[in-house]
Amino acid sequence: MGEFMTHLKSLFKEDDSLSAAERVAMGSLSISGVSSVIWVVTEKCNLRCIHCYEGNREPQRELSTEEAMRVIDRLYDAGKPLTFISGGEPLLRKDIYSILGRLKELGFRVILSTNGTLVDKAAERLASLEIDNIAIPLYGPQESHDSFTRMRGSHERVMRALGLLRDLGMGLTVKTVVARSVIPNLEYIFQMAQEFGARTIYLCDLIMVGRATLLTQELPSKDDWRRILDWIIEQMILGNEYPEIEVDIGLHPSTAIYVMESLRKKGYDVSEAEAKMRKRRLSVEGRGYLSISPTGDILISNYTPIKLGNALNDDLREVIRHPLYRAVGNSSKLRGWCGSCEYRDMCGGSRVKAYIYSGELLGEDPTCLLH
């Protein structure tokens, strides 16, 4: 599970129930206007993944343990939003169990995003803290995965981590990035997710920030994405492959619109799915989602440098009233084809990618599958 999620499979299955994570996010949204927070607790990492958005810069100063506890108090005051703990590699923080323990003590639903290489020493502790979900990346079989992470043996460690967490009964998400060299491995990734009992597969578009700016040859085309979605439609929405696995799409809201229109063209009734999407825009930037940096800065997204405040000093309930945040969440303010699109209130386009490619948060999403 990750930020910027589109729960693709459940949108089009006859299931009106919300997942536990969605219930938490919607509950917090109704209390404070903040639904979910991704908190990057450190930029330190033991891998050097070729697509990492952090790039090669020196890690920022991190919050002290006492400061981290103050941030947790701010999150509590904001209604206990769905909280993603990420990095870097969060397990490299010496006080990570204090942070996780405090969140769980206060009743937060916590998703920990880790690269999996340090889990063998952490698994039982994470289980004892009752962390709700552990998200671990997988980029393919051994050679492909180790090439992506630039660490020999990382695939073996991930396999061991997934097995340990499965045996401990932990909720699991397998995540990957949709890059051209990863696409041929997607069926393998789905098979491994099923074998290890993962509840979710998170497919995130490759974002041109950090080290990924050197990977233009890895950028998937729109047709690459359409073929992936056509496969998901046939195998998992119309078919019954991987029945226990949800598919989350990250940073690509038009994927859900593409699936809806594909099913409509096949003669299927998509009115219920359309009604679900009209209740809340798929693009979550400016719509209850926030990111917190290792220094406590509150950002529109961890992929952009746009600062709205700092969690040590600012109330999150006030931050979301920032004029820029409100503008980003207002679909009527969008420009280009996103502004004129009939689905602007349902989709909204990726504000992150609009900013990265054009420098305009309210600009058009150049990766939209409808254009």
Instruction: For residue range 356-369, list pLDDT tens digits in order.
Output: 999 999 999 999 99
- Domain assignment present for residue 101? The answer is yes
Lowest mean pLDDT, pick from 5-14, 99-108, 345-354, 362-371: 5-14
pLDDT value of residue 14? 64
What CATH number has the domain bearing residue 184? Answer: 3.20.20.70
- Domain assignment present for residue 111? The answer is yes
What average pLDDT does the segment 345-356 reach?
96
- Domain assignment present for residue 365? The answer is no
- Domain assignment present for residue 356? The answer is no
In DSSP notation, 251-273 reads: S-THHHHHHHHHHHHTT---HHH
Q: In what order do the strands lie in the sheet with 297-299?
A: 5-7, 246-250, 200-205, 172-178, 133-137, 110-113, 82-86, 36-40, 289-292, 297-299, 307-310
Residue 104 clears pLDDT 80, i.e. is over it: yes
| Residue showing tokens 């709205």 | 308
pLDDT value of residue 16? 54
pLDDT value of residue 154? 98
Quick one: angle between helices 271-279 and 254-265, nearest 10? Answer: 160
Query: Which domain does 120 fall in, by range?
Result: 5-330
Q: Is 276 in a helix, a strand, or coil? A: helix
Q: What is the DSSP letter of 212?
A: G
Cα–Cα distance measured from residue 231 to residue 221, given in angstroms and rounded to the nearest whole number: 16
Surface-to-core class of residue 215, CB atoms within 10 Å of its CB (0-12 exposed, 13-18 middle, 19+ buried): middle
In DSSP notation, 139-154 reads: -SSHHHHHHHHT-TTH
The amino acid occupying position 46 is N
- Domain assignment present for residue 84? The answer is yes
- Domain assignment present for residue 369? The answer is no
Q: How many domains does the chain contain in total? A: 1
Contact 114, 49 (CB under 8 A): no
- Domain assignment present for residue 228? The answer is yes
pLDDT value of residue 138? 99
pLDDT tens figures, 240-286: 999 999 999 989 999 999 999 999 999 999 999 999 898 889 999 99
- Domain assignment present for residue 361? The answer is no
Look up residue 165 and give its two tokens.
Answer: 């967490």
